[in-house]
Amino acid sequence: MSAQPALAVENVTMRFGGLVALSEVSLEVAAGEIVAVIGPNGAGKSTLFNVVTGLYRPTAGRVRVAGEEVTGRPTHQIVALGVARTFQSSRLFTGVSVLDNVIIGMHALSPPSVLQALLLWGRTRRELRLAAERAERILQSVGGNLYEQRYRLAEELAQADRRRLEVARALAGEPKLLLLDEPTAGMDDRDTDALIEDIRRIRRDRPQLAIVVVEHDMRLVAALPERVAVLDYGRKIAESVFDEIRLNPWVQEAYLGSTTIDD
């Protein structure tokens, strides 16, 4: 096992013109660890993911993945180091099957494009069969009944299953670092609980996988992560275990209501 953190964000600042989306943000995530990032709309959470995955080059600061500096490198190089993500708004390939969405995920983990679909062509039957078998195992491993729905079109899935499929697709590249951007968006409590179980199972099966999850839903934030980082206007204003974070006045105000929290 490498002693290097799976992810090290060091003093990252990201400016868009006069807007400071991230201001000297640092965050470390060890292999096997789950860290949640919370904060209000516009706090810079997705920007952080975009910087880590090379979509944005930070104005200042560094990003290291498994010890290797990746600041400003193109996304495909960062993906090759074992970084996968899901997007806040669904980026599934709606015109293809659930199974093919996962197979596509094995080849490239950036937002899907027609080019990626074309990657499916020109493969030998044996390659395709092996890929399909692997994709089926991944679908079985994420829970729910995605596996049973594997031949349906992605667009026919219920919202919760689409989110699940995005996670499955991200896992297809066997990442070392998984970034989930609001995976429970649009889910009710029941689906959220199911997703929490999915993530627990994923972690059990992949004990070295580091996960960063941007999340608004306190159910998930309370249930999963070892640590919680709070962003506000691009600054990290707190970072601790959930039991401490929940006592933070800002967090109480923003997320938990101003009344005391019942256990």
Ligand X SMILES: Nc1ncnc2c1ncn2[C@@H]1O[C@H](COP(=O)(O)OP(=O)(O)OP(=O)(O)O)[C@@H](O)[C@H]1O
Interatomic CA distance for residues 166 and 149, integer angstroms: 14
Q: Counting contacts by CB under 6 A, is residue 19 touching ligand X? A: yes
**Minimal distance, residue 63 CB to ligand X, in Å:** 15
Beta pairing class for 210-214 and 177-181: parallel
Q: Counting contacts by CB under 5 A, is residue 184 touching Mg ion? A: no
Interatomic CA distance for residues 100 and 226, integer angstroms: 33
Interatomic CA distance for residues 212 and 10, integer angstroms: 16
Query: Of 41-49, 142-150, 197-205, 246-254, which part binds ligand X (CB under 6 A)?
Result: 41-49
Query: Of 38-46, 75-83, 113-121, 200-208, which part binds Mg ion (CB under 5 A)?
Result: 38-46
Q: Which of 55, 45, 48 is nearest to 75 (CA)?
A: 55
Binds ligand X (CB under 6 A): choice among 9, 23, 31, 39 = 39
Query: Of 9-17, 43-51, 52-60, 199-207, which part binds Mg ion (CB under 5 A)?
Result: 43-51
Window 59 to 118, contacts with Mg ion (CB under 5 A): 88
> SS3 sequence, 84-148?
EECCCCCCCCCCCEHHHHHHHHHHCCCCCCHHHHHHCCCCCHHHHHHHHHHHHHHHHHCCCCCCC
**Minimal distance, residue 59 CB to ligand X, in Å:** 12
Q: Counting contacts by CB under 6 A, is residue 45 touching ligand X? A: yes
Sign of CA dihedral 71, 72, 78, 83: positive
Query: Of 34-42, 71-79, 97-105, 188-196, which part binds ligand X (CB under 6 A)?
Result: 34-42
Interatomic CA distance for residues 98 and 90, integer angstroms: 14
Site string for ligand X, 66-105 (x = CB under 6 A): ----------------------x-----------------
Beta pairing class for 68-69 and 83-85: unpaired
Q: Counting contacts by CB under 6 A, is residue 21 touching ligand X? A: yes
Beta pairing class for 227-232 and 235-240: antiparallel
Site string for ligand X, 131-170 (x = CB under 6 A): ----------------------------------------
Q: What secondary structure letter does DSSP report for 195? A: H
**Minimal distance, residue 141 CB to ligand X, in Å:** 28
The residues binding ligand X (CB under 6 A) are 16, 19, 21, 39, 41-47, 88
